[in-house]
Amino acid sequence: MRKMRYKTSINQVEFFSFHGLYPEEKLTGGKFIVDATVELEVDDKASLKRMVEVVNYEQLFSIVKNEMDQPKELIETVAKNILDTIGSRIHHIKVAEVKITKLNPGGLFKSGSASVFLSKIFE
């Protein structure tokens, strides 16, 4: 039986959130950019409609938004929570990936960005 990989992603989605270690980050918040991808492995003869029923970008956005709305000290924690929620709500996925970029992070540097990228394989 031939297999096909199907991916759904949201890209460069901007959020204003209150994640950070420093008091000023928790008070003033900041801009974050999120990319998230979910991958399925399906039978080559599977219908595209069925794949979209399993996972769609609106569901993926909803999961990401919910986690971005809950302040955490580390964006690594936010990324892990996104992956865990994806795994509990979207069935039959093989891989989920998330990248969170913090624009103009506080601390040592005030310009540019800092990113974390996490990937989780589901059995």
Task: Give pLDDT tens digits for 5-36.
Answer: 888 999 999 999 999 988 888 899 999 999 99
Residue whose C-alpha is closest to residue 82's, from 94, 92, 70: 70
Please write the tens of the pLDDT for every residue from 80-91. 999 999 999 988
Q: Does residue 108 carry a pLDDT above 70?
A: no
Q: Who wins on pLDDT, 85 or 110?
A: 85
Kindly state the tokens that stand for 12. 């460069």
Identify the architecture of domain 3-121 in CATH.
2-Layer Sandwich (3.30)
The alpha carbon dihedral of 11, 119, 63, 72 has a sign of negative
Q: Measure the N-to-C terminal CA separation of the chain; round to a whole number of Å.
A: 19
